[in-house]
Chains A and B, each alone.
Chain A
Amino acid sequence: MKRRIPLLLAAAAITAGALVLVACGEKPENVNGQPQPFSLTLDFYPNPDHVGIYEAQKLGYFRDAGLDVSINSPTDPSAPIKEVAAGRADLAISYEPELLLAREQSLDVKAVGALVDRPLTSLIWLRKSDIKRLGDLRGKTIATAGIPYQDAFLETILARANLKPSDVKAVNVGLNLLPAILGGRAQAMLGGFSNVEGIDLKLRHKDPTVTPVDQLGIPTYDELVFVAQGSRLKDDSEPIRLFLAAMARGTAAAEKDPKGATQALLEQNHSLDPKLTAAEVKATLPVLSQASPKRPYGYMDQAEWQQFIGWMRDHGLISSLPTPTQVLTEELLPGRIPG
Protein backbone atom coordinates (compact mmCIF):
# COMPACT_ATOMS: atom_id res chain seq x y z
CA MET A 1 0.00 0.00 0.00
CA LYS A 2 2.87 2.31 0.85
CA ARG A 3 4.23 2.18 -2.69
CA ARG A 4 1.03 3.63 -4.08
CA ILE A 5 1.52 7.02 -2.51
CA PRO A 6 4.26 8.27 -4.88
CA LEU A 7 2.14 7.20 -7.84
CA LEU A 8 -0.86 9.08 -6.47
CA LEU A 9 1.33 12.08 -5.78
CA ALA A 10 2.71 11.97 -9.29
CA ALA A 11 -0.78 11.74 -10.74
CA ALA A 12 -1.87 14.68 -8.60
CA ALA A 13 1.14 16.68 -9.76
CA ILE A 14 0.33 15.96 -13.40
CA THR A 15 -3.31 16.92 -12.89
CA ALA A 16 -2.31 20.13 -11.14
CA GLY A 17 0.10 20.92 -13.97
CA ALA A 18 -2.61 20.37 -16.53
CA LEU A 19 -5.04 22.60 -14.62
CA VAL A 20 -2.44 25.37 -14.44
CA LEU A 21 -2.00 25.12 -18.20
CA VAL A 22 -5.75 25.34 -18.71
CA ALA A 23 -6.03 28.26 -16.30
CA CYS A 24 -3.29 30.13 -18.16
CA GLY A 25 -5.57 30.18 -21.17
CA GLU A 26 -8.44 31.83 -19.28
CA LYS A 27 -9.67 35.17 -20.45
CA PRO A 28 -9.31 37.79 -17.72
CA GLU A 29 -12.57 39.04 -16.30
CA ASN A 30 -13.79 42.36 -17.57
CA VAL A 31 -13.19 45.13 -15.11
CA ASN A 32 -16.06 47.49 -14.58
CA GLY A 33 -15.43 51.10 -15.39
CA GLN A 34 -14.94 53.35 -18.40
CA PRO A 35 -13.95 53.05 -21.15
CA GLN A 36 -15.12 49.52 -21.80
CA PRO A 37 -12.46 47.03 -22.90
CA PHE A 38 -13.09 45.81 -26.44
CA SER A 39 -10.91 43.26 -28.22
CA LEU A 40 -10.48 43.17 -31.97
CA THR A 41 -8.60 40.33 -33.66
CA LEU A 42 -7.14 41.24 -37.04
CA ASP A 43 -7.24 38.86 -40.00
CA PHE A 44 -3.44 38.90 -40.28
CA TYR A 45 -0.52 40.86 -38.95
CA PRO A 46 -1.09 44.62 -39.11
CA ASN A 47 -1.01 45.96 -42.67
CA PRO A 48 -2.54 48.83 -44.68
CA ASP A 49 -5.97 47.15 -44.70
CA HIS A 50 -6.09 48.19 -41.06
CA VAL A 51 -5.16 51.81 -41.61
CA GLY A 52 -8.64 53.07 -40.64
CA ILE A 53 -8.45 51.14 -37.39
CA TYR A 54 -5.10 52.61 -36.37
CA GLU A 55 -6.22 56.09 -37.45
CA ALA A 56 -9.34 55.81 -35.28
CA GLN A 57 -7.17 54.56 -32.42
CA LYS A 58 -4.68 57.41 -32.78
CA LEU A 59 -7.30 60.14 -33.09
CA GLY A 60 -9.14 58.80 -30.03
CA TYR A 61 -12.36 57.93 -31.87
CA PHE A 62 -12.70 54.62 -30.04
CA ARG A 63 -12.19 56.37 -26.71
CA ASP A 64 -14.82 58.95 -27.72
CA ALA A 65 -17.16 56.00 -28.26
CA GLY A 66 -16.38 54.74 -24.76
CA LEU A 67 -14.27 51.83 -25.94
CA ASP A 68 -10.77 50.79 -24.96
CA VAL A 69 -9.89 48.82 -28.08
CA SER A 70 -7.07 46.27 -27.98
CA ILE A 71 -5.86 45.15 -31.39
CA ASN A 72 -4.50 41.62 -31.66
CA SER A 73 -2.88 39.72 -34.52
CA PRO A 74 -3.92 36.09 -34.98
CA THR A 75 -1.74 32.97 -35.09
CA ASP A 76 -3.11 32.24 -38.56
CA PRO A 77 -5.82 33.77 -40.77
CA SER A 78 -8.42 31.12 -39.88
CA ALA A 79 -8.06 31.73 -36.13
CA PRO A 80 -9.93 35.07 -35.67
CA ILE A 81 -13.33 33.70 -36.60
CA LYS A 82 -12.89 30.84 -34.11
CA GLU A 83 -11.92 33.29 -31.39
CA VAL A 84 -15.11 35.26 -31.93
CA ALA A 85 -17.25 32.13 -32.08
CA ALA A 86 -15.71 31.00 -28.80
CA GLY A 87 -16.37 34.39 -27.23
CA ARG A 88 -12.66 35.15 -26.72
CA ALA A 89 -12.74 38.29 -28.86
CA ASP A 90 -15.47 40.89 -29.22
CA LEU A 91 -14.95 41.30 -32.92
CA ALA A 92 -12.74 39.78 -35.59
CA ILE A 93 -11.77 40.60 -39.11
CA SER A 94 -12.25 37.69 -41.46
CA TYR A 95 -13.10 37.01 -45.09
CA GLU A 96 -16.55 36.57 -46.62
CA PRO A 97 -15.70 33.05 -47.91
CA GLU A 98 -14.24 32.10 -44.52
CA LEU A 99 -17.38 33.34 -42.77
CA LEU A 100 -19.55 31.21 -45.05
CA LEU A 101 -17.35 28.17 -44.34
CA ALA A 102 -17.63 28.87 -40.62
CA ARG A 103 -21.42 29.01 -40.87
CA GLU A 104 -21.32 25.70 -42.73
CA GLN A 105 -19.41 24.25 -39.74
CA SER A 106 -22.21 25.60 -37.47
CA LEU A 107 -20.07 28.32 -35.90
CA ASP A 108 -22.28 30.99 -34.37
CA VAL A 109 -20.94 33.99 -36.31
CA LYS A 110 -22.32 36.83 -38.40
CA ALA A 111 -20.83 39.61 -40.49
CA VAL A 112 -21.67 43.03 -39.07
CA GLY A 113 -19.92 45.26 -41.61
CA ALA A 114 -17.46 45.27 -44.50
CA LEU A 115 -13.94 46.60 -44.04
CA VAL A 116 -13.07 46.02 -47.71
CA ASP A 117 -16.14 45.50 -49.88
CA ARG A 118 -14.52 43.91 -52.94
CA PRO A 119 -11.99 41.14 -53.64
CA LEU A 120 -8.32 41.94 -53.10
CA THR A 121 -7.16 38.38 -53.70
CA SER A 122 -5.48 38.47 -57.07
CA LEU A 123 -3.80 36.39 -59.70
CA ILE A 124 -0.34 37.84 -60.09
CA TRP A 125 2.42 37.14 -62.58
CA LEU A 126 5.62 39.01 -63.37
CA ARG A 127 6.84 40.19 -66.73
CA LYS A 128 9.70 37.71 -66.66
CA SER A 129 7.20 34.82 -66.55
CA ASP A 130 6.32 35.34 -70.22
CA ILE A 131 2.66 35.01 -69.36
CA LYS A 132 0.61 37.43 -71.46
CA ARG A 133 -2.87 36.05 -70.97
CA LEU A 134 -4.65 33.34 -68.99
CA GLY A 135 -4.09 30.70 -71.67
CA ASP A 136 -0.34 31.05 -71.17
CA LEU A 137 -0.74 29.52 -67.70
CA ARG A 138 -0.69 26.07 -69.32
CA GLY A 139 2.25 24.07 -67.99
CA LYS A 140 3.18 26.78 -65.50
CA THR A 141 3.65 26.47 -61.74
CA ILE A 142 1.18 28.53 -59.71
CA ALA A 143 1.89 29.20 -56.04
CA THR A 144 -1.18 29.18 -53.78
CA ALA A 145 -1.63 29.97 -50.09
CA GLY A 146 -3.15 26.64 -49.03
CA ILE A 147 -6.72 27.89 -48.76
CA PRO A 148 -9.30 25.51 -50.26
CA TYR A 149 -11.70 28.20 -51.50
CA GLN A 150 -8.84 29.85 -53.35
CA ASP A 151 -8.11 26.53 -55.02
CA ALA A 152 -11.71 26.73 -56.24
CA PHE A 153 -10.99 30.27 -57.48
CA LEU A 154 -8.14 28.82 -59.51
CA GLU A 155 -10.38 26.17 -61.05
CA THR A 156 -12.86 28.84 -62.14
CA ILE A 157 -10.09 31.01 -63.56
CA LEU A 158 -8.55 28.11 -65.47
CA ALA A 159 -11.93 27.04 -66.83
CA ARG A 160 -12.27 30.54 -68.23
CA ALA A 161 -9.15 29.93 -70.29
CA ASN A 162 -10.34 26.43 -71.26
CA LEU A 163 -7.71 24.87 -69.04
CA LYS A 164 -8.10 21.91 -66.70
CA PRO A 165 -6.60 21.92 -63.19
CA SER A 166 -4.15 19.28 -64.41
CA ASP A 167 -2.86 21.67 -67.09
CA VAL A 168 -1.00 23.67 -64.44
CA LYS A 169 1.04 22.71 -61.39
CA ALA A 170 -0.55 24.29 -58.32
CA VAL A 171 1.71 24.28 -55.27
CA ASN A 172 0.67 25.28 -51.79
CA VAL A 173 3.45 27.50 -50.42
CA GLY A 174 1.58 28.88 -47.41
CA LEU A 175 3.13 32.19 -46.48
CA ASN A 176 5.93 31.96 -49.03
CA LEU A 177 4.09 33.42 -52.03
CA LEU A 178 6.58 36.21 -52.69
CA PRO A 179 9.76 34.08 -52.39
CA ALA A 180 8.18 31.50 -54.70
CA ILE A 181 7.42 33.97 -57.47
CA LEU A 182 10.47 36.20 -56.99
CA GLY A 183 12.80 33.19 -56.99
CA GLY A 184 11.23 32.04 -60.23
CA ARG A 185 10.15 28.63 -58.91
CA ALA A 186 6.54 29.63 -59.56
CA GLN A 187 5.51 31.71 -62.56
CA ALA A 188 2.25 32.99 -61.09
CA MET A 189 0.67 33.25 -57.67
CA LEU A 190 -2.90 33.29 -56.41
CA GLY A 191 -3.67 34.49 -52.89
CA GLY A 192 -1.75 37.73 -52.65
CA PHE A 193 -3.64 41.02 -52.28
CA SER A 194 -3.61 43.65 -55.04
CA ASN A 195 -2.89 46.40 -52.49
CA VAL A 196 -0.17 44.53 -50.57
CA GLU A 197 1.80 41.95 -52.59
CA GLY A 198 0.80 43.72 -55.83
CA ILE A 199 2.32 47.00 -54.65
CA ASP A 200 5.33 45.26 -53.10
CA LEU A 201 6.23 43.66 -56.45
CA LYS A 202 5.71 46.95 -58.24
CA LEU A 203 8.12 48.77 -55.91
CA ARG A 204 10.64 46.00 -56.56
CA HIS A 205 10.35 46.90 -60.26
CA LYS A 206 9.14 43.43 -61.18
CA ASP A 207 6.41 44.79 -63.43
CA PRO A 208 3.62 42.59 -62.03
CA THR A 209 0.29 41.99 -63.74
CA VAL A 210 -2.23 42.01 -60.91
CA THR A 211 -5.80 40.90 -61.58
CA PRO A 212 -8.33 40.69 -58.73
CA VAL A 213 -10.37 37.48 -58.94
CA ASP A 214 -13.69 39.24 -59.59
CA GLN A 215 -12.25 40.19 -62.98
CA LEU A 216 -11.50 36.53 -63.67
CA GLY A 217 -14.96 35.02 -63.41
CA ILE A 218 -15.47 34.80 -59.67
CA PRO A 219 -18.50 36.75 -58.40
CA THR A 220 -17.50 39.78 -56.36
CA TYR A 221 -17.39 39.40 -52.58
CA ASP A 222 -16.35 41.40 -49.51
CA GLU A 223 -12.68 40.53 -48.95
CA LEU A 224 -12.59 41.69 -45.33
CA VAL A 225 -15.58 41.74 -43.00
CA PHE A 226 -16.07 42.42 -39.32
CA VAL A 227 -17.43 39.29 -37.68
CA ALA A 228 -19.23 38.99 -34.34
CA GLN A 229 -20.68 36.14 -32.29
CA GLY A 230 -24.32 35.58 -33.25
CA SER A 231 -25.64 35.20 -29.69
CA ARG A 232 -23.79 38.35 -28.63
CA LEU A 233 -25.67 40.33 -31.29
CA LYS A 234 -28.97 39.53 -29.61
CA ASP A 235 -28.24 40.97 -26.20
CA ASP A 236 -25.01 42.97 -26.22
CA SER A 237 -24.51 44.56 -29.61
CA GLU A 238 -24.09 48.17 -28.48
CA PRO A 239 -20.25 48.12 -28.20
CA ILE A 240 -20.08 46.75 -31.74
CA ARG A 241 -22.33 49.55 -33.02
CA LEU A 242 -20.10 52.08 -31.29
CA PHE A 243 -17.00 50.44 -32.73
CA LEU A 244 -18.34 50.58 -36.28
CA ALA A 245 -19.30 54.24 -35.89
CA ALA A 246 -15.75 55.01 -34.76
CA MET A 247 -14.42 53.00 -37.72
CA ALA A 248 -16.47 55.13 -40.10
CA ARG A 249 -14.86 58.24 -38.60
CA GLY A 250 -11.37 56.69 -38.68
CA THR A 251 -11.67 55.64 -42.31
CA ALA A 252 -12.98 59.06 -43.38
CA ALA A 253 -10.09 60.72 -41.53
CA ALA A 254 -7.57 58.41 -43.22
CA GLU A 255 -9.09 59.26 -46.57
CA LYS A 256 -8.61 62.97 -45.91
CA ASP A 257 -5.08 62.62 -44.58
CA PRO A 258 -3.31 59.58 -46.08
CA LYS A 259 0.09 60.69 -44.75
CA GLY A 260 -1.17 61.05 -41.19
CA ALA A 261 -2.95 57.71 -41.44
CA THR A 262 0.22 56.02 -42.70
CA GLN A 263 2.01 57.55 -39.74
CA ALA A 264 -0.63 56.19 -37.36
CA LEU A 265 -0.12 52.69 -38.78
CA LEU A 266 3.68 52.95 -38.65
CA GLU A 267 3.76 54.34 -35.11
CA GLN A 268 1.96 51.28 -33.78
CA ASN A 269 3.86 48.80 -35.94
CA HIS A 270 7.54 49.54 -36.03
CA SER A 271 8.37 46.52 -38.18
CA LEU A 272 6.57 47.92 -41.24
CA ASP A 273 8.67 49.49 -43.99
CA PRO A 274 7.70 53.19 -44.26
CA LYS A 275 8.12 53.61 -48.02
CA LEU A 276 6.31 50.39 -48.89
CA THR A 277 3.56 51.09 -46.36
CA ALA A 278 2.95 54.58 -47.74
CA ALA A 279 2.52 53.13 -51.25
CA GLU A 280 0.28 50.36 -49.96
CA VAL A 281 -1.90 52.78 -48.00
CA LYS A 282 -2.36 54.84 -51.14
CA ALA A 283 -3.59 51.74 -52.96
CA THR A 284 -5.72 50.64 -50.03
CA LEU A 285 -7.73 53.79 -49.26
CA PRO A 286 -9.88 53.52 -52.41
CA VAL A 287 -10.88 49.92 -51.61
CA LEU A 288 -11.85 50.51 -47.98
CA SER A 289 -15.57 50.59 -47.34
CA GLN A 290 -16.74 54.17 -47.00
CA ALA A 291 -19.91 56.05 -46.19
CA SER A 292 -21.64 57.65 -49.17
CA PRO A 293 -24.93 59.51 -49.47
CA LYS A 294 -26.58 56.25 -50.53
CA ARG A 295 -24.75 53.74 -48.36
CA PRO A 296 -23.61 53.65 -44.76
CA TYR A 297 -20.06 52.76 -43.79
CA GLY A 298 -19.55 48.99 -43.84
CA TYR A 299 -22.40 48.38 -46.28
CA MET A 300 -22.72 44.80 -47.51
CA ASP A 301 -24.57 44.27 -50.77
CA GLN A 302 -27.01 41.42 -50.17
CA ALA A 303 -27.51 40.65 -53.86
CA GLU A 304 -23.75 40.23 -54.25
CA TRP A 305 -23.60 38.03 -51.15
CA GLN A 306 -26.40 35.89 -52.55
CA GLN A 307 -24.53 35.41 -55.78
CA PHE A 308 -21.28 34.55 -54.05
CA ILE A 309 -23.04 32.09 -51.73
CA GLY A 310 -24.40 30.41 -54.86
CA TRP A 311 -20.91 30.20 -56.35
CA MET A 312 -19.56 28.66 -53.13
CA ARG A 313 -22.27 26.01 -53.24
CA ASP A 314 -21.82 25.31 -56.95
CA HIS A 315 -18.18 24.60 -56.25
CA GLY A 316 -18.90 22.23 -53.38
CA LEU A 317 -17.36 24.51 -50.76
CA ILE A 318 -20.61 24.63 -48.79
CA SER A 319 -23.63 22.35 -49.00
CA SER A 320 -26.35 24.67 -47.73
CA LEU A 321 -27.63 27.83 -49.36
CA PRO A 322 -28.15 30.37 -46.57
CA THR A 323 -29.88 33.67 -47.26
CA PRO A 324 -27.72 36.79 -46.80
CA THR A 325 -29.71 37.81 -43.71
CA GLN A 326 -28.75 34.53 -42.06
CA VAL A 327 -25.04 35.32 -42.39
CA LEU A 328 -24.95 39.09 -42.04
CA THR A 329 -26.72 41.94 -40.27
CA GLU A 330 -26.79 45.60 -41.23
CA GLU A 331 -28.47 46.63 -38.01
CA LEU A 332 -25.28 47.94 -36.45
CA LEU A 333 -23.97 50.05 -39.33
CA PRO A 334 -23.56 53.77 -38.61
CA GLY A 335 -26.72 55.74 -39.40
CA ARG A 336 -28.97 52.75 -38.83
CA ILE A 337 -31.71 53.19 -36.28
CA PRO A 338 -31.50 50.45 -33.65
CA GLY A 339 -34.29 47.97 -34.35
Chain B
Amino acid sequence: MRRYLLPVAVLASLVAAWQLAASTGLLANVLNLEDFLVPAPSEIAKTLWEDRSLLADNAWVTLKEVLLGFGCALVAGLAFAVGLHLSETLRRAFYPLIVASQTIPIIAVAPILVVWFGFGIGPKLAIIALICFFPITVNTLDGLRSVDPDAVKMMRTLDASRWAILRRVESPTALPFAFSGAKIAVAVAVIGAVFGEWAGSSSGLGYLMQLDNAALNTPRLWASVTVLSAMAILLFALLALLEKKVVSWR
Protein backbone atom coordinates (compact mmCIF):
# COMPACT_ATOMS: atom_id res chain seq x y z
CA MET B 1 0.00 0.00 0.00
CA ARG B 2 2.87 2.31 0.87
CA ARG B 3 4.11 2.45 -2.70
CA TYR B 4 0.88 4.09 -3.76
CA LEU B 5 1.16 6.65 -1.00
CA LEU B 6 3.81 8.74 -2.76
CA PRO B 7 2.18 9.15 -6.19
CA VAL B 8 -1.17 9.82 -4.56
CA ALA B 9 0.42 12.40 -2.26
CA VAL B 10 2.17 14.13 -5.20
CA LEU B 11 -1.03 14.17 -7.23
CA ALA B 12 -3.09 15.41 -4.29
CA SER B 13 -0.69 18.23 -3.49
CA LEU B 14 -0.55 19.29 -7.15
CA VAL B 15 -4.35 19.36 -7.35
CA ALA B 16 -4.51 21.25 -4.05
CA ALA B 17 -1.98 23.81 -5.30
CA TRP B 18 -3.96 24.19 -8.51
CA GLN B 19 -7.20 24.65 -6.59
CA LEU B 20 -5.54 27.25 -4.38
CA ALA B 21 -4.04 29.07 -7.37
CA ALA B 22 -7.28 29.07 -9.33
CA SER B 23 -9.52 30.15 -6.48
CA THR B 24 -7.24 32.71 -4.83
CA GLY B 25 -7.39 35.97 -6.71
CA LEU B 26 -3.84 36.97 -5.92
CA LEU B 27 -2.18 33.73 -7.07
CA ALA B 28 -4.35 33.61 -10.16
CA ASN B 29 -3.15 37.10 -11.02
CA VAL B 30 0.51 36.28 -10.54
CA LEU B 31 0.24 33.18 -12.70
CA ASN B 32 -1.99 34.90 -15.25
CA LEU B 33 -4.65 32.26 -14.67
CA GLU B 34 -8.16 32.94 -15.84
CA ASP B 35 -10.98 30.61 -14.96
CA PHE B 36 -12.00 30.38 -18.61
CA LEU B 37 -8.50 29.19 -19.46
CA VAL B 38 -7.87 26.90 -16.51
CA PRO B 39 -10.89 26.01 -14.38
CA ALA B 40 -10.40 25.05 -10.74
CA PRO B 41 -10.29 21.32 -9.94
CA SER B 42 -13.47 21.69 -7.91
CA GLU B 43 -15.26 22.99 -11.00
CA ILE B 44 -13.92 20.12 -13.11
CA ALA B 45 -15.01 17.65 -10.45
CA LYS B 46 -18.48 19.18 -10.47
CA THR B 47 -18.69 18.79 -14.24
CA LEU B 48 -17.38 15.22 -14.01
CA TRP B 49 -20.30 14.40 -11.76
CA GLU B 50 -23.00 16.39 -13.51
CA ASP B 51 -22.12 15.20 -17.02
CA ARG B 52 -21.11 11.70 -15.96
CA SER B 53 -23.38 9.84 -18.34
CA LEU B 54 -22.35 11.96 -21.35
CA LEU B 55 -18.69 11.52 -20.44
CA ALA B 56 -19.10 7.80 -19.85
CA ASP B 57 -20.82 7.27 -23.22
CA ASN B 58 -18.08 9.09 -25.07
CA ALA B 59 -15.32 7.49 -22.98
CA TRP B 60 -16.67 4.06 -23.92
CA VAL B 61 -16.40 4.97 -27.61
CA THR B 62 -12.81 6.12 -27.15
CA LEU B 63 -11.89 3.12 -24.98
CA LYS B 64 -13.08 0.74 -27.71
CA GLU B 65 -10.95 2.59 -30.26
CA VAL B 66 -7.93 2.52 -27.96
CA LEU B 67 -8.22 -1.20 -27.18
CA LEU B 68 -8.76 -2.22 -30.80
CA GLY B 69 -6.09 0.14 -32.14
CA PHE B 70 -3.64 -1.00 -29.48
CA GLY B 71 -4.50 -4.62 -30.27
CA CYS B 72 -3.73 -4.07 -33.96
CA ALA B 73 -0.45 -2.36 -33.04
CA LEU B 74 0.49 -5.18 -30.69
CA VAL B 75 -0.03 -7.89 -33.31
CA ALA B 76 1.65 -5.88 -36.06
CA GLY B 77 4.46 -4.68 -33.78
CA LEU B 78 5.37 -8.14 -32.49
CA ALA B 79 5.15 -9.63 -35.98
CA PHE B 80 7.37 -6.88 -37.37
CA ALA B 81 9.89 -7.30 -34.56
CA VAL B 82 10.18 -11.07 -35.07
CA GLY B 83 10.33 -10.64 -38.85
CA LEU B 84 13.03 -7.99 -38.68
CA HIS B 85 14.94 -10.03 -36.12
CA LEU B 86 14.93 -13.18 -38.23
CA SER B 87 15.95 -11.53 -41.48
CA GLU B 88 18.84 -9.14 -41.79
CA THR B 89 17.57 -8.14 -45.26
CA LEU B 90 14.13 -7.29 -43.97
CA ARG B 91 15.63 -5.31 -41.13
CA ARG B 92 17.77 -3.26 -43.44
CA ALA B 93 14.87 -2.72 -45.82
CA PHE B 94 12.19 -1.75 -43.32
CA TYR B 95 13.85 -0.26 -40.26
CA PRO B 96 14.26 3.25 -41.73
CA LEU B 97 10.67 3.10 -42.92
CA ILE B 98 9.44 2.24 -39.42
CA VAL B 99 11.32 5.21 -37.99
CA ALA B 100 10.00 7.46 -40.75
CA SER B 101 6.44 6.36 -39.98
CA GLN B 102 6.77 8.10 -36.62
CA THR B 103 7.57 11.44 -38.20
CA ILE B 104 4.35 11.76 -40.20
CA PRO B 105 2.19 14.42 -38.53
CA ILE B 106 -1.42 13.36 -38.07
CA ILE B 107 -2.61 16.50 -39.85
CA ALA B 108 -0.97 15.13 -43.01
CA VAL B 109 -2.46 11.64 -42.82
CA ALA B 110 -5.89 12.57 -41.46
CA PRO B 111 -7.38 13.73 -44.80
CA ILE B 112 -6.10 10.59 -46.53
CA LEU B 113 -7.57 8.36 -43.85
CA VAL B 114 -10.91 10.16 -44.04
CA VAL B 115 -11.08 9.59 -47.79
CA TRP B 116 -9.90 5.97 -47.59
CA PHE B 117 -11.71 4.69 -44.54
CA GLY B 118 -14.64 7.10 -44.24
CA PHE B 119 -15.95 8.11 -40.83
CA GLY B 120 -16.21 4.76 -39.09
CA ILE B 121 -13.79 3.34 -36.57
CA GLY B 122 -11.25 2.64 -39.35
CA PRO B 123 -9.28 5.91 -39.41
CA LYS B 124 -9.11 6.02 -35.60
CA LEU B 125 -7.66 2.51 -35.44
CA ALA B 126 -5.18 3.36 -38.19
CA ILE B 127 -3.92 6.44 -36.33
CA ILE B 128 -3.71 4.69 -32.96
CA ALA B 129 -1.94 1.71 -34.51
CA LEU B 130 0.45 4.01 -36.36
CA ILE B 131 1.44 5.73 -33.10
CA CYS B 132 1.53 2.56 -30.98
CA PHE B 133 3.35 0.05 -33.10
CA PHE B 134 6.65 1.94 -33.09
CA PRO B 135 7.55 1.59 -29.38
CA ILE B 136 6.35 -2.02 -29.42
CA THR B 137 8.41 -2.96 -32.49
CA VAL B 138 11.59 -1.17 -31.49
CA ASN B 139 11.56 -2.39 -27.89
CA THR B 140 10.77 -5.97 -28.81
CA LEU B 141 13.43 -6.00 -31.50
CA ASP B 142 15.99 -4.66 -29.03
CA GLY B 143 14.93 -7.37 -26.62
CA LEU B 144 15.30 -10.12 -29.21
CA ARG B 145 18.76 -8.87 -30.09
CA SER B 146 19.94 -8.61 -26.49
CA VAL B 147 19.96 -12.36 -26.01
CA ASP B 148 23.05 -13.85 -24.41
CA PRO B 149 25.05 -15.20 -27.42
CA ASP B 150 26.33 -18.10 -25.32
CA ALA B 151 22.79 -19.28 -24.71
CA VAL B 152 22.13 -19.33 -28.44
CA LYS B 153 25.41 -21.18 -29.05
CA MET B 154 24.46 -23.77 -26.50
CA MET B 155 21.06 -24.26 -28.14
CA ARG B 156 22.83 -24.74 -31.47
CA THR B 157 25.11 -27.42 -30.03
CA LEU B 158 21.95 -29.15 -28.85
CA ASP B 159 20.85 -29.07 -32.49
CA ALA B 160 17.92 -26.77 -31.73
CA SER B 161 15.92 -25.43 -34.68
CA ARG B 162 15.65 -21.67 -35.34
CA TRP B 163 12.10 -21.82 -34.07
CA ALA B 164 13.19 -23.52 -30.85
CA ILE B 165 15.83 -20.85 -30.22
CA LEU B 166 13.28 -18.15 -30.78
CA ARG B 167 10.72 -19.80 -28.56
CA ARG B 168 12.94 -20.98 -25.70
CA VAL B 169 15.71 -18.38 -25.51
CA GLU B 170 14.99 -15.21 -27.45
CA SER B 171 11.30 -14.74 -26.67
CA PRO B 172 11.64 -14.99 -22.89
CA THR B 173 14.50 -12.48 -23.01
CA ALA B 174 12.50 -10.12 -25.21
CA LEU B 175 9.30 -10.33 -23.19
CA PRO B 176 10.13 -7.65 -20.58
CA PHE B 177 11.24 -5.38 -23.43
CA ALA B 178 7.98 -5.99 -25.27
CA PHE B 179 6.07 -5.10 -22.13
CA SER B 180 8.00 -1.82 -21.80
CA GLY B 181 7.13 -0.98 -25.39
CA ALA B 182 3.49 -1.89 -24.85
CA LYS B 183 3.28 0.27 -21.74
CA ILE B 184 4.62 3.29 -23.63
CA ALA B 185 2.27 2.51 -26.49
CA VAL B 186 -0.86 2.26 -24.39
CA ALA B 187 -0.15 5.63 -22.77
CA VAL B 188 0.11 7.38 -26.12
CA ALA B 189 -2.76 5.39 -27.63
CA VAL B 190 -5.29 7.71 -26.02
CA ILE B 191 -3.65 10.68 -27.74
CA GLY B 192 -3.90 8.80 -31.02
CA ALA B 193 -7.60 8.24 -30.38
CA VAL B 194 -8.17 11.96 -29.83
CA PHE B 195 -6.33 12.84 -33.04
CA GLY B 196 -8.28 10.16 -34.86
CA GLU B 197 -11.56 11.58 -33.66
CA TRP B 198 -10.54 15.07 -34.74
CA ALA B 199 -10.14 13.75 -38.27
CA GLY B 200 -13.81 12.79 -38.47
CA SER B 201 -16.23 11.48 -35.84
CA SER B 202 -19.63 11.84 -34.25
CA SER B 203 -18.74 10.63 -30.75
CA GLY B 204 -15.83 9.99 -28.38
CA LEU B 205 -13.86 12.05 -25.90
CA GLY B 206 -11.82 13.76 -28.65
CA TYR B 207 -15.02 14.71 -30.42
CA LEU B 208 -16.49 16.07 -27.19
CA MET B 209 -13.28 18.02 -26.50
CA GLN B 210 -13.43 19.69 -29.87
CA LEU B 211 -17.05 20.75 -29.38
CA ASP B 212 -16.42 21.97 -25.84
CA ASN B 213 -13.35 23.90 -26.95
CA ALA B 214 -15.36 25.64 -29.68
CA ALA B 215 -18.18 26.38 -27.21
CA LEU B 216 -15.69 27.75 -24.63
CA ASN B 217 -16.90 25.10 -22.19
CA THR B 218 -13.51 24.77 -20.48
CA PRO B 219 -14.64 22.83 -17.38
CA ARG B 220 -16.06 20.01 -19.48
CA LEU B 221 -13.05 20.10 -21.80
CA TRP B 222 -10.86 19.43 -18.76
CA ALA B 223 -13.29 16.85 -17.44
CA SER B 224 -12.77 14.93 -20.70
CA VAL B 225 -9.01 15.32 -20.30
CA THR B 226 -9.27 13.91 -16.77
CA VAL B 227 -11.24 10.88 -17.96
CA LEU B 228 -8.75 10.34 -20.77
CA SER B 229 -5.79 10.48 -18.37
CA ALA B 230 -7.50 8.09 -15.98
CA MET B 231 -8.07 5.73 -18.87
CA ALA B 232 -4.39 5.79 -19.86
CA ILE B 233 -3.22 5.29 -16.26
CA LEU B 234 -5.62 2.39 -15.79
CA LEU B 235 -4.53 0.65 -18.99
CA PHE B 236 -0.88 1.20 -18.07
CA ALA B 237 -1.47 -0.27 -14.62
CA LEU B 238 -3.28 -3.30 -16.09
CA LEU B 239 -0.31 -3.97 -18.37
CA ALA B 240 2.11 -3.59 -15.47
CA LEU B 241 0.04 -6.09 -13.49
CA LEU B 242 0.01 -8.50 -16.40
CA GLU B 243 3.75 -8.11 -16.79
CA LYS B 244 4.25 -9.03 -13.15
CA LYS B 245 2.22 -12.19 -13.59
CA VAL B 246 3.80 -13.23 -16.91
CA VAL B 247 7.41 -12.23 -16.41
CA SER B 248 7.65 -14.09 -13.13
CA TRP B 249 11.37 -14.77 -13.34
CA ARG B 250 12.37 -11.16 -13.05
Residue ranges of B at the interface with A (Cβ–Cβ < 8 Å):
31-32, 34, 36-37, 107, 110-112, 114-115, 118-119, 198-202, 207, 210-211, 213-218
Which B residues are CB-close (under 8 A) to A186? 119
Q: How far is the CB of A23 from chain B (nearest CB, A)?
A: 10
Given known A141-B119, A172-B210, A176-B114, contact A22–B31 (CB-CB < 8 A): yes
Q: Report whether A176 and B211 are in contact in the complex, using a CB–CB cutoff of 8 Å.
A: no
- Chain A positions 89-130 with a Cβ under 8 Å from a chain B Cβ: 98, 101-102, 105-107
A81 to B213 Cα, complex, angstroms:
12
Inter-chain contacts of A174 with B (CB < 8 A): 198-200, 210
* A82 close to B36 (CB less than 8 A): yes
Contacts of A106 in B (CB 8 A): 36
Subset of 23 A-B contacts with CB under 8 Å: A77-B214, A82-B216, A86-B32, A98-B214, A105-B217, A107-B36, A146-B198, A147-B215, A148-B211, A151-B211, A170-B202, A172-B202, A172-B210, A173-B200, A179-B111, A179-B114, A179-B115, A180-B200, A183-B115, A184-B115, A185-B114, A185-B115, A185-B119
Chain A interface residues (CB < 8 Å from chain B): 22, 25-26, 76-78, 81-82, 85-86, 98, 101-102, 105-107, 141, 143, 146-149, 151, 169-176, 179-180, 182-186
A171 with B201: CB separation less than 8 A = yes
Which residue of A has the minimal Cβ distance to B213?
Answer: A78
- Chain B's closest residue to A183 (CB) is B115
Q: What chain B residues lie within 8 Å of A98 (beta carbons)?
A: 214, 216
Shortest Cβ gap from A98 to chain B (Å): 8
Known: A172-B211, A185-B115. A101 touches B201 (CB 8 A): no
Nearest residue, chain A, Cβ from B210: A146
Question: Hey, which chain A residues are within 8 Å of B107, CB to CB?
Answer: 175
- Given A146-B207, A173-B114, 11 more A-B residue pairs with CB atoms under 8 Å apart are A81-B216, A147-B211, A148-B214, A171-B202, A172-B201, A175-B107, A179-B112, A179-B115, A182-B115, A183-B111, A185-B114
- Contact check, B202 vs A146: say whether CB atoms are below 8 A apart: no
Residues of B within 8 A of A176 (CB): 110-111, 114, 199-200
A147, B216: Cβ atoms closer than 8 Å: no
